[in-house]
Amino acid sequence: MKTEISVQPRLNYGNGMTKKVSRPRLSRNQLKILEILEKYEELTARDIAEILWARDISYRTAEYSSTARSLRTLYKKGLVAKVGGQIKWRKTKEKLS
């Protein structure tokens, strides 16, 4: 006897089904980061994470990743700038368009 196999097409969920939403406002952590950078002129992402989370932070932790992600978002919005060889962050004087 021959058995028939029914093959259904695979759905490609990654093809335009998700939409990235950009938030016009800043998150709580992003606002705290800007406050920290107002107080201290230049800091590394790790230094910012340690101040933000009030404890010793090592790389590859959720806290460090969250801080780095927030810094990248602030950089894209023109609110912080990268400084020097060892990447440090500084608050910009004015918002870039």
Between 7 and 57, the higher pLDDT residue: 57
Q: How many helices (H) and strands (E) does the chain have?
A: 3, 3
Give a yes or no: residue 64 inside a domain: yes
Domains in the chain: how many in total?
1
Q: Is 0.75 topped by the overall pTM?
A: no
Give a yes or no: residue 21 inside a domain: no
pLDDT-derived band at 88, boundaries 50, 70, 90: confident
Give a yes or no: residue 63 inside a domain: yes
Give a yes or no: residue 73 inside a domain: yes
CATH number at residue 86: 1.10.10.10
Strand partners, 83: 88
Give a yes or no: residue 14 inside a domain: no
Give a yes or no: residue 79 inside a domain: yes
The answer to whether the CB of 54 falls within 8 A of the CB of 65 is no
What pLDDT is attached to residue 4? 56
Between 9 and 64, the higher pLDDT residue: 64
Between 7 and 72, the higher pLDDT residue: 72
Give a yes or no: residue 61 inside a domain: yes
- In this predicted structure, the answer to whether residue 63 has a pLDDT above a threshold of 60 is yes
Residue with tokens 């994470």: 49
- Domain span at residue 46 reads 28-91
